[in-house]
Structure 1
Amino acid sequence: MTSPAVADGYRLVDGPPPVDDYLVIRERSGLSPRRRDQAEAAVRGSWAAKHVVEESSGTPVAMGRVLGDGGWYFHIVDMATLPEHQRRGLGAAVMAALLADIRSSAPPGAYVNLLADPPGRALYLAHGFTDTAPYSIGMARLV
């Protein structure tokens, strides 16, 4: 399978970024900060993950992960790009690669979902996601 195109000067990498970079990308891109133990469990528990590295510095600058059971449910999470690297198609490349992984491994009819915060909605719509309301709505609970 061919990797989705990524902007010049960047490289798409299979797998999550290192934990320290994962934490930095989350926080600097506006996602809620997490503790190191949470990040370690998160990257270890991914069904699939991709990240983008800036070639000149070797720094991870964008990422995304999939949580899933490998058969029916796939939930896309942690889609994030460092602010200074946004608007270069890096998020689109990560999303395309994650969806390609799902298409190549999941049975037909698999359910792929995500929670769409305002900054990512245009990206998700461009990749075929649609609003599920009023049929279903996202719900959450902290423990």
Structure 2
Amino acid sequence: MDQVNIEHTPPAVVEYLALRQIAGLSPMSREGAEIGLPNSLFAVCLREEDMLVGMGRVIGDGGCFFQVVDIAVHPDEQGKGYGKLIMSEIMKYLKENVPARALVSLLADVPADRLYAPFGFEYTSPKSEGMWWRQGE
């Protein structure tokens, strides 16, 4: 792994939107990012010098429900273990802060879903299926 700095703060809105786009995640609005990022329960950013090369966040109500979101690594930096590093930081937070019986969920794009199983995440089907609704433009 190259020299990477770990920060436990959300990224700036502009770099957040840019990394989501270049990493192939669905686009979010600037307005949504300005509201959402400061409301993160936990965030991790990986930086090489001042460049954001990876990120991840935990959102939720802080008691019963938590969701892992925004796991992204810059395409030029993939294959260096940065996704595992981000998840390791998130798991430290979850193990220290999630109360008993609380639910931690995530939506995993294929083939990135393979990243999460070693951290104890399991598929919910056939017992339940993930669903979503998204506000239009």
Length-normalised TM-score, structure 1: 0.89
- Mapped to 2, the partners of 1:120 and 1:114 lie a distance apart of 12
Is 1:102 the counterpart of 2:94 in the alignment?
A: yes
Deviations 1:89-116 (A, max 9, x none): 1111111111111211222332111001
Match of 1:40 in 2: 34
- Mapped to 1, the partners of 2:27 and 2:99 lie a distance apart of 34
Deviations 1:27-83 (A, max 9, x none): 00000112211111121121111110013xx10111011112111211001111110
SS in 1 for 2:76: helix
Match of 2:48 in 1: 54
**Residue ranges of structure 1 left out of the alignment (5+ in a row):** 1-6
Q: Percent same amino acid at aligned positions?
A: 39
Amino acid of the structure 1 residue aligned with 2:119: H
Length-normalised TM-score, structure 2: 0.92
Amino acid of the structure 1 residue aligned with 2:28: R
SS in 1 for 2:70: strand
Q: Which runs of 4+ in 1 moved over 3 A?
A: none
Is 1:17 the counterpart of 2:28 in the alignment?
A: no
Is 1:79 the counterpart of 2:105 in the alignment?
A: no
- Mapped to 1, the partners of 2:114 and 2:79 lie a distance apart of 12
Match of 1:91 in 2: 83
RMSD: 1.2
Amino acid of the structure 2 residue aligned with 1:24: A
SS in 1 for 2:37: helix
Amino acid of the structure 2 residue aligned with 1:98: I
Is 1:123 the counterpart of 2:115 in the alignment?
A: yes
Amino acid of the structure 2 residue aligned with 1:39: A
Match of 2:21 in 1: 27
1:114 to 106, 113, 136: 106
Amino acid of the structure 2 residue aligned with 1:108: A
**Residue ranges of structure 2 left out of the alignment (5+ in a row):** none
SS in 1 for 2:22: helix
